[in-house]
Amino acid sequence: MGAHYCAICRQTTFNGKGHIFGKTHQSRLRVVLLKFTEKVKEARRTLKKPQVEKFDCTQHKQTFWCYCCGCEIEKNVTDGNMTVLYGGLLEHMATPEHRKNTHKFWWDNKADPKFRDKVIVTEEETERFKVEVAKALESFVEKEDEYIKQHAEHIRAQEKHRQEVLQSLLEVCFPTMLWQYPSLWH
Ligand SMILES: [Zn+2]
Ligand SMILES: [Zn+2]
């Protein structure tokens, strides 16, 4: 057995499999998996009701560390205009690679099998998610259009108000000002 880097414990060990079964590794693994499954659970809540938001570069450019694949993945999915929250994460959890890596990870780390399927998104779930995302995007666009329309009306109303104020200023105040401050004539 050579040196083995343990990503869970973030250290290099030399006793091979012994390390995996050790108390330190198993307790760290439990903490890691608890956090990991909690995050995935949060994402899974949106499977039936996808969350679509206007793209915000300070909020939506988050990544997520997948312990099973040992790589960073985009948490959300965006076209730079709209963002599907957790879209990237759910998409990743549904890939065959992730499924394969998850099985290997669980096996390699001797993790509790009852949590394994929590971090895998099935094909059925993905199909349904896609349908729901399509609906959510549609209603988001409708709302956005409505907002733009209302906003435009608001701007028009403001503009009208400004014109009216300006008009009354010209009619009432300005002549007085000119009278009071004759220097303005020049
Ligand atoms: Zn370890
Ligand atoms: Zn993965």
For 42-62, what is each residue's pLDDT tens digit? 999 999 999 999 999 888 999
CB 134, CB 82: distance < 8 Å: no
> How many whole angstroms from 79 Cα to the centroid of ligand 1?
38
The pocket of ion ligand 1, defined by CB under 5 A, consists of 6, 8-9, 25
CB 54, CB 78: distance < 8 Å: no
> How many whole angstroms from 117 Cα to the centroid of ligand 2?
12
| pTM across the whole model | 0.76
CB 84, CB 50: distance < 8 Å: yes
> How many whole angstroms from 20 Cα to the centroid of ligand 1?
6
For 57-89, what is each residue's pLDDT tens digit? 888 999 999 999 999 999 999 988 899 999 999
Is 182 a residue whose pLDDT tops 70?
A: no
Paired sense of beta strands 11-13 and 4-6, if any: antiparallel
> How many whole angstroms from 56 Cα to the centroid of ligand 2?
25
